[in-house]
Copies of this chain bind each other. A is one copy, B any other.
Amino acid sequence: MAQKDTVKSILNAAEELFSERGFAETSLRNITTKAGVNLAAVNYHFGSKKALIQAVFARFLTPFCDDLEHELDAVQAQLEGRVPALPGLLMLLSQTALRAGHDSPRRLGIFMRLLGLAYTQGQGHLRRFLQKEYGPVFKTFMRLVTAATPELSDEDRFWRIHFMLGATVFTLSGADSLTAMAEHDLGKGSDIAQVVDKLIPFLASGLNAPHQAD
């Protein structure tokens, strides 16, 4: 059982430290110290730092995407040709995501921060890895969203989907500091599930906005 514990400790420490400081700013010594294991353990169990980064993503993303794929299949079966409703699709996605951070809801924020880093930080190997590994499920989801928004032009839909993605990743990845700000400014904090609840009407309304500004 020693191996399992070491591997898991490393993944836990890496996940947290990466999300706090980024990939390049987090050294293997930081990680192994926090995990309470020897420095060489990372290269022994994962092979390299790059492979460790990918493993951190895979541990979260693989169960999430499997779960999502299953849910999407169920939706498609239930529809039998009818068009899906957009808010339902968004809620299904968010609920699946919240479920994926099964330990604590905080983990979703941590992972969103990682996802943001994956796109902003260099790490070309990571983008390629994520694309190859988890691209298909995303395509399926996109197909359903397309069916749910038949009145949108392909162009508007394309851009608005990315506007939604940006709002989500940015907000949830900064959820910790943002709820702290909210608590300070408004005297009212929120947990991440409440933020998601606030996000959904915003996204749904933005996606269905009229083509031109009023």
- Asked if B171 and A169 sit within 8 Å, CB to CB, the answer is no
B120, B170, B202: the one contacting A206 at CB < 8 Å is B202
Chain B residues positioned under 8 Å from A167 (CB to CB): 163-164, 166-167, 170, 206
- Asked if A25 and B166 sit within 8 Å, CB to CB, the answer is no
Smallest CB-CB separation from A182: which chain B residue?
A: B158
Chain B residues positioned under 8 Å from A39 (CB to CB): none
Q: How many residues of A contact B (CB 8 A)?
A: 57
Chain B residues positioned under 8 Å from A113 (CB to CB): 120
Number of copies: 2
Residue in A171, A178, A195 with the greatest tally of chain B CB atoms within 10 Å = A171
Query: Quick one: given A170-B170, A173-B120, are A155 and B201 in contact (CB under 8 Å)?
Result: no
Give the shortest distance, in Å, between A69 (CB) and chain B (any CB).
22
Supply 9 A–B pairs (Cβ within 8 Å), ascending by A.
Answer: A20-B122, A22-B22, A22-B24, A22-B120, A158-B182, A158-B185, A159-B190, A200-B213, A205-B206
Instruction: Give Cα A158–Cα B20 distance, bound, in whole angstroms.
Output: 24
Give the shortest distance, in Å, between A45 (CB) and chain B (any CB).
25
Q: Give A90-128 interface residues, CB cut-off 8 Å to B.
A: 91, 113, 116-117, 119-122
A150 in the interface (beta carbon within 8 A): no
Chain B residues positioned under 8 Å from A80 (CB to CB): none
- Asked if B209 and A159 sit within 8 Å, CB to CB, the answer is no
Instruction: Give Cα A154–Cα B87 distance, bound, in whole angstroms.
Output: 24
Query: Quick one: given A87-B214, A167-B167, are A121 and B25 in contact (CB under 8 Å)?
Result: yes
Contact with B along A193-209 (1 / 0, CB 8 A): 00100111111111111
A160 in the interface (beta carbon within 8 A): yes
Give the shortest distance, in Å, between A156 (CB) and chain B (any CB).
7
